[in-house]
Structure 1
Amino acid sequence: MILEVAVLQVKAGLADEFERNFKKAQAIISSMNGYISHELQKCIEEDQKYILLVKWETLQAHTEGFRGSDAYLEWKSLLHHFYDPFPTVEHYEAVDLS
């Protein structure tokens, strides 16, 4: 399992519209092959800042499957115009501590 982490800085005054669009966009990502789950959380200290956490079966499910799909174009049109700066996206895997 891979965890995608994106810090989303939404332009001032657009948080409510962003959240409405995200409600639509989450249906897109959740329908993708290799998708497991996601969470969108809002920062307490900075009300225009969010973190998106998405669990994928593999890195390729996100980077090739989702980002290479026609559905990603719809995702982009719903969400990408809200960000300034454009988010940094990183991928993490669990550390075996046993």
Structure 2
Amino acid sequence: MAFVNDLRATDRVVMVGGGNGKVLQIRVQIAELWDTVRVDAPASETVDSVKVAALGEFYGSGESPGDYVVKLHGFEILDEGRSLESAGVKDGSTLLVSQRRRRPVK
């Protein structure tokens, strides 16, 4: 998985959650920024908590998580309260986070 996690990613790693169990190394890309961060999170962690952590890494506290959607394999994850594992996220997966309503480019 090293190649997948190092591809166009910065050196920073966001740790989400604690607990025991299998830890997934995933990439979270913010579509509007064209930037990616690696996230290490237990498979039992929710999709929403990963989204919130990634948005916090890129924007600080200035963005509302409800204004963003999470996609996996091109499809929106409708229930972000699900665990990463039950949403189909595997080690090395990339989650795309993008604004719910597209904004015009200025």
Return the structure number with greater relative CO, CA threshold 8 A, min gap 6: 1
- Which structure has the bigger radius of gyration? 1
Q: Relative to total residues, which structure has the larger helix share, 1 or 2?
A: 1
Q: TM-score, normalised by structure 2?
A: 0.28
